[in-house]
């Protein structure tokens, strides 16, 4: 029996001295392998009487189990050391390029982000700067200052999400358009103003062409001697760049917005060929944006003297622009986080072209 105890102690010492998983494996083979000490002990059982076999067999088995456990513990300890060592010494080279063929793992730029970037790009060439405002607005910035008072019928056109407010006076809501950024900018800065404001907007509406959350981009120019001609010229140049068509036929239709006077909606000409929209041809018209000369009442609300300054504003839906440019038919697909969809319609961050080549 003392033989067994000696073996156990001896193996324990060997195990504790193992410096690596390879060392440990060698010891394991030496002790537990076919020709190992413990296997030899097991084999020797065939030479003893049945009486002895019972008692010896039990203790040999216990020895085997104890030794196996000791190996397991040490193996665990050495594996952890390997991991710690890698954490300490391995360096991640984030500048390495993506492995060829691992295209599926490459992130894609969402068409909404891509459209916002493109619009910003075009307007920055026209000397516009970008302004942003919060998604949660107050009633004044979203409605009242934009000449939409409490009892104005236009309020009903905006299916507004109101927040539960303690204070009725200072009612908060999810902005229904990006136009409150006009108000914030006119109150905070003085003319000349030349901004675009992209962002999220919210209306209680949900079908194939409406989503309760969508994106708009707002434009505002305030300066001396600004007229509708400037608005038309700017919007034409923008559309030609965005839709990549020169001499794009456009038309302005009279419309109504409380915050612009006169107001218009702008359409571009298109034709549908083989189920694909082609812009700049044909005699069908597609609405692109709402616009107009800033209503003097709005200027006054923002403490800007309408006898000195005029300006124009426009607002357009980002989803609509993306759908038209990239041939996307259901607005809801933008927000479904479907990898197949984003792999098809998304844009590679590396070469800025989509997998469809658009
Ligand atoms: N805010 C308007 C809308 O959401 C768009 C618009 C912006 C119209 C600026 C005119 C001027 O429909």
**DSSP letters spanning 76-104:** HHHHHHHHHHHHHH----TTSPPPTT-GG
User: How far does residue 50's CA lie from ligand 1's centre (Å)?
Assistant: 98
CA 297 to chain centre: 38
User: How far does residue 306's CA lie from ligand 1's centre (Å)?
Assistant: 20
**pLDDT tens over the chain, length 358 residues:** 557 888 889 999 999 999 999 999 999 888 888 888 888 888 888 888 888 888 888 888 999 999 999 999 999 999 999 999 988 898 888 888 767 766 556 788 999 999 999 999 999 999 999 999 999 999 999 999 999 988 887 777 778 999 987 676 778 999 999 999 999 999 999 999 999 999 999 998 888 778 899 999 999 999 999 999 999 999 999 999 999 999 889 999 999 999 999 999 999 988 888 877 788 888 888 899 999 999 999 999 999 999 999 999 999 999 989 988 898 888 889 999 898 999 899 998 876 544 444 4
CA distances from 154 to 6, 119, 200, 259 (A): 94, 28, 20, 11
The reported pLDDT for the residue numbered 101 is: 64
Strands (E), the chain: 129-130, 136-138, 172-174, 193-202, 213-223, 250-257, 260-273, 276-279, 284-294, 310-317
pTM over 0.75: no
Given the CA of residue 216, which atom of ligand 1 is nearest to it?
Answer: 4
Rounded (5°) CA angle 111-114-117: 155
Q: Tokens 């992130």 map to which residue?
A: 107
User: How far does residue 199's CA lie from ligand 1's centre (Å)?
Assistant: 13
Q: Tokens 């156990």 map to which residue?
A: 8
User: How far does residue 138's CA lie from ligand 1's centre (Å)?
Assistant: 18
Given the CA of residue 219, which atom of ligand 1 is nearest to it?
Answer: 9
User: How far does residue 122's CA lie from ligand 1's centre (Å)?
Assistant: 20
The reported pLDDT for the residue numbered 154 is: 72
Take residue 247 and report the two structure tokens written for it.
Answer: 């001499």
Best residue among 210, 219, 257 to mutate for probing ligand 1's pocket (most ligand atoms within 8 Å of CB) is 257
Best residue among 158, 181, 259, 294 to mutate for probing ligand 1's pocket (most ligand atoms within 8 Å of CB) is 259
The reported pLDDT for the residue numbered 195 is: 98
CB 258 near ligand 1, within 6 Å:
no
How far apart are alpha carbons 25 and 40 in whole angstroms?
Answer: 19
Return the exposure string of 204-236: e unless at least 16 CB atoms fall within 10 Å of the residue's CB, then b: eeeeeeebeebbbbbbbbbeeebeeebbbebbb
| Backbone φ and ψ of 242, nearest 5° | -65, -45
The reported pLDDT for the residue numbered 30 is: 87
Take residue 179 and report the two structure tokens written for it.
Answer: 């136009």
């Amino acid at each position: 029996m003392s033989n067994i105890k000696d073996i156990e102690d001896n193996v324990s010492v060997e195990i504790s001295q193992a410096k690596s998983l390879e060392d440990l494996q060698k010891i394991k083979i030496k002790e537990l392998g076919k020709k190992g000490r413990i296997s030899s002990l097991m084999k020797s059982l065939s030479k003893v009487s049945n009486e002895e076999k019972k008692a010896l067999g039990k203790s040999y088995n216990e020895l085997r189990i104890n030794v196996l456990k000791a190996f397991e513990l040490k193996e665990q300890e050495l594996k952890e050391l390997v991991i710690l060592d890698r954490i300490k010494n391995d360096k991640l080279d984030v500048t390495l390029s993506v492995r060829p063929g691992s295209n599926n793992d490459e992130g894609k730029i969402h068409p909404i982000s891509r459209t916002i970037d493109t619009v910003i790009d075009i307007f920055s060439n026209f000397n516009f700067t970008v302004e942003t405002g919060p998604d949660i607005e107050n009633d004044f910035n979203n409605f009242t200052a934009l000449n939409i008072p409490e009892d104005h019928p236009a309020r009903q056109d905006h299916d507004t999400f109101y927040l539960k407010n303690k204070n009725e006076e200072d009612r908060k809501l999810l902005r229904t358009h990006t136009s409150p950024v006009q108000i914030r900018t006119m109150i905070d800065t003085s003319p000349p103003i030349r901004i675009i404001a992209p962002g999220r907007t919210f209306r209680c509406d949900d079908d194939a062409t409406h989503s309760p959350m969508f994106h708009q981009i707002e434009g505002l120019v305030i300066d001396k001697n600004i007229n509708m001609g400037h608005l038309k010229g700017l919007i034409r140049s923008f559309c030609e760049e965005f839709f990549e068509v020169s001499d794009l036929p456009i038309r302005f239709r009279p419309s109504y917005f409380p915050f612009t006077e006169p107001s218009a909606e702008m359409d571009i000409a298109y034709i549908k060929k083989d189920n694909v929209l082609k812009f700049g041809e044909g005699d069908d018209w597609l609405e692109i944006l709402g616009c107009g000369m800033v209503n003097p009442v709005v200027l006054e609300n923002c403490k800007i003297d309408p006898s000195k300054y005029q300006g124009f504003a426009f607002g357009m839906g980002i989803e609509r622009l993306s759908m038209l440019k990239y041939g996307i038919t259901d607005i809801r697909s933008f927000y479904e986080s479907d990898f197949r969809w984003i792999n098809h319609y998304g844009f590679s961050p590396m070469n800025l072209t989509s997998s469809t080549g658009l």
